[in-house]
Amino acid sequence: MIEKGCFKMNAESIMKTQVIKVMEDSTVRSVIEKFIKNGISGLPVVNDQNEIVGYISDGDIMRYVGKHKENVVNALYFVNVLQGDDDKFEERAKKILDYNVMEVARKSVYTVKSDEDIEEIARILGKKQIKKLPVEQNGILVGIISRGDVIRNAFSYLL
């Protein structure tokens, strides 16, 4: 547990409470608009009760517009190409804009409670190789923590 004087560093003490998020009934278009407007690359997906139901990142979107096709056997892929079913990048990119966010978002989301200590947060971010962790309290989204938040807070008093 990292402490600075009497100050215990936990999720609540380092999280950002102004969370950019998207509703579960939104489109991928609205997600990408938020990415561009806010200079971010991922955000939590919530329902009407502000419960975390998913997380969408630029990587999730790239899986849909990249050259590979998921769950398609190579032989089947070539049959599709011969039949003209091989969409070009721009066509795939246009199609995904109108998808519901939950068609693309990860439904299994790593989260931390607001009282989680910074050492455990750092462990999760490092081990799971993720950039951000939503913070929840009683299932409700209350904040978000990035790897940068952990580094700045954990090391600022050591420098």
Residue at token pair 């109108």: 98
CATH of the domain at 40: 3.10.580.10
Is there a contact between 98 and 29 (Cβ–Cβ < 8 Å)?
Answer: yes
pLDDT at 82: 42
Distance CA 70, CA 67 (A): 10
Q: What is the pLDDT of residues 34-89, one digit of tens each?
A: 999 999 999 999 999 999 999 999 999 988 777 545 444 444 444 444 444 556 77
Distance from C-alpha of 74 to C-alpha of 143, rounded to nearest angstrom: 43
Range of the domain at 37: 3-155
Backbone phi and psi for residue 115, each to the nearest 5 degrees, phi listed first = -95, 5
Taking each helix axis from N to C terminus, what angle separates 28-38 and 58-65, rounded to the nearest 10 degrees? 130
**Contact status, residue 24 vs residue 156, Cβ threshold 8 Å:** no
Q: Give residue 149's pLDDT.
A: 95
Q: Considering its fold, how many domains does the chain have in total? A: 1
Answer with the residue of higher pLDDT: 90 or 72: 90
